[in-house]
Amino acid sequence: MRLALPAARRTAALLATAALVLTSSPAHAARADTWKVPASAWVTVRGHGYGHGHGMSQYGAEGAAREGLGYRRIVDFYYPGTTWGTAAGKVTVLITADTTDDLEVLARSGLTIHDSTAKGRVALPDNGATRWRVGVAEDGTNRVAYLTDHWRRWATLGGTGQFFAAGKPITLVTPGGNRAYRGRLAALPPSSGSRSRDTVNTLALDSYVKGVVPLEIPALWHAEAVRAQSVAARTYAAYERAHPHGSTYQLCDTSSCQVYGGYDAEHPAANEAVDATRHLALLSDGQPAFTQFGSSSGGWTSAGSVPYLPAREDPYDDWAGNPVHDWSVRLSEARLEQAWPALGNLQRITVTRRDGNGDWGGRVASLTLVGDGGKVVVSGDTFRSVLGLRSTWVTFKVTQRG
């Protein structure tokens, strides 16, 4: 996830033109820029944007909403060539915070359990329990226990166990704390015969999106921007559902998929946005589109893996509240030498390939670092990741230290 900022108001004509014209990006445009690096130098990295730049800029969505665009126009701008459709049904989400092999929840009214080898659900009794747990016994069976003054065995399951709460949130106990989730929670083996367990949350797609949106964009931003995020998040989840991440789940709850915090993460304003766009999703060839999004485009989106994620100028990203449209960070030459020890003493930085869009020739695709010990060729993505930079759209300024 990510957020957005600066943009001087554009004229209506400029906005209309920007919304209609797609710019094809020379993906392998070459631009050789070289900076000599003396001993004891500062390397100032100047950049635009935050994130990979594919698809919707979240700061851009806010900037567009402030310009008067509704969520449909915002979404159409960032995902040109997609069509409107719907997505519903259930999703399954891995809860990464639960690192244990048991599934433990707080007791509450209406709590039931389902044995995967049996029909129906069994109501858990109001017996003074404060917690219920499904754990794997030494013989590999799944056992249900409850906590009063100590843990007491209650039943042995023929298969795996799932907790339900009659449509009410269930509070999961994890090593890092408790968190409530809509839908149901299950303890599932990642492979046949495994004694380890994944904690998986199964719930309605729109209920899932309510636990995503406020963690991906400020819920109190302009309602049209939050609605645009709701459509992008719903569509992305529907796409991921068709391309599962694991054997027991379709989605994860981290930024590797979308950040998902369950019921406890929900916000009334974000819920309104999800409800206002209920079931709406973007399609490509009749299937959910791959609606990537990120914090800030920096003024140009970057070409993604599909035609509806083109590189195009983004007039909405640069508004006064976007702190990452332009940014800089100062590093010592020693920081780069530590990251790539084979260099020895860093002597030269050369950008060998950019994407050709915007300032400095656009985002860095590859660069070469040369030192007295050798040279290292790295991709722009690797350079960004190793040094913790906000994006690959960067240039450099080298000055003497001391």
Tens digit of each residue's pLDDT (9 = 90 or more) over 2-29: 443 333 333 333 333 333 333 333 444 4
Mean pLDDT of 35-63: 97
> Residue 192's pLDDT band (boundaries 50, 70, 90)?
confident
CA–CA distances in Å: residue 378 to residues 32, 112, 130, 353, 394: 14, 54, 54, 11, 14
Q: In the structure encoding, which two tokens stand for residue 199, read together?
A: 């904690």
pLDDT score, position 114: 97
- Tell me which of 194 and 335 has the higher pLDDT: 335
Structure tokens that stand for 336 in this block: 């780069």
The strand pairing partners of 115, in sequence order, are 161
Q: In this structure, what token pair is assigned to residue 169?
A: 């949130």
Query: CB-side exposure of 44: number of CA atoms within 13 Å?
Result: 8
Distance (Å, whole) CA 286 – CA 186: 32
What is the Cα–Cα distance from 79 to 94, expressed in whole angstroms? 28
Mean per-residue pLDDT over the chain, rounded: 92
Pair 398, 36: CB distance under 8 Å: yes
pLDDT for 106-124, tens place per residue? 999 999 999 999 999 999 9
Output the pLDDT for position 138. Answer: 87
Mean pLDDT of 58-72: 98
More confident residue, 21 or 326: 326
Cβ(209)–Cβ(274) below 8 Å: yes
Q: What is the pLDDT of residues 141-151, one digit of tens each?
A: 999 999 999 99
pLDDT at 253 over 90: yes
pLDDT at residue 277, as a whole number: 98
- Model pLDDT for residues 207-238, shown as the tens digit of each residue: 999 999 999 999 999 999 999 999 999 999 99
Q: Check: CB of residue 19 under 8 Å from CB of residue 73.
A: yes
Percent of the chain with pLDDT over 70: 92
